[in-house]
Amino acid sequence: MNLPAGLEEDLRILLRDEYQEFLECAYRPARQSFRINTLKAELDFPFEFSGERIPWCPAGHYSASQVSDSVEHFQGLVYVQEAASMLPAEALDPQEGDTVLDLSAAPGSKSTHMAALMGNGGCIVANDVDYARLKSLRFNLNRMGVINTILSWDDGASLEPDILFDKVLLDAPCSNAGQLRDNPEALTTWSRKKVKQSSELQKRLIIRAADLLKEGGTLVYSTCTFSPEENEEVVDHAMEERGLRVEPIRGKFGRHPGVKYWRGREYAREVVDTARLYPHDNDTGGFYVAKLRK
Residue 165 Cβ vs another protein, minimum distance, rounded to whole Å: 10
27 versus 74: smaller Cβ distance to another protein: 74
Q: Under the criterion CB under 8 A, does residue 66 sit at the interface with another protein?
A: no
Total residues contacting another protein by CB under 8 A comes to 35
Residue 82 Cβ vs another protein, minimum distance, rounded to whole Å: 24
C-beta separation of 258 from 243 below 8 A: no
Q: Under the criterion CB under 8 A, does residue 65 sit at the interface with another protein?
A: no
Q: Considering only residues 93 through 152, tell me which ones interact with another protein, judged by CB under 8 A.
A: 97, 99, 120-123, 125, 134, 138, 141-143, 145-152
13 versus 147: smaller Cβ distance to another protein: 147
Q: Considering only residues 15 through 44, tell me which ones interact with another protein, judged by CB under 8 A.
A: 39-41
- Give the distance, in angstroms, between the CA of residue 183 and the centroid of all CA atoms in the same chain: 16
Which DSSP symbol is given to 127?
A: E
Among positions 11, 34, 76, 171, the unique one binding another protein when judged by CB under 8 A: 76
C-beta separation of 103 from 129 below 8 A: no
Burial class (CB in 10 A: 0-12, 13-18, 19+), 188: exposed
Residue 120 Cβ vs another protein, minimum distance, rounded to whole Å: 6
57 versus 134: smaller Cβ distance to another protein: 134
In 126-184, which ranges are continuous DSSP H helix? Answer: 131-143
Q: Under the criterion CB under 8 A, does residue 163 sit at the interface with another protein?
A: yes
C-beta separation of 133 from 173 below 8 A: no
Residues acting as catalytic residues: 224
Which DSSP symbol is given to 165?
A: E
Residue 108 Cβ vs another protein, minimum distance, rounded to whole Å: 13
Taking the C-alpha atoms of residue 142 and residue 264, their distance in angstroms, rounded to an integer, is 47
**Strand pairing report for 60-63 and 33-36:** antiparallel
* Among the listed residues 277, 284, 257, 223, the one whose alpha carbon sits nearest the alpha carbon of residue 26: 284
Which residues here bind another protein, judged by CB under 8 A? 39-41, 71-72, 74-77, 97, 99, 120-123, 125, 134, 138, 141-143, 145-154, 160-163
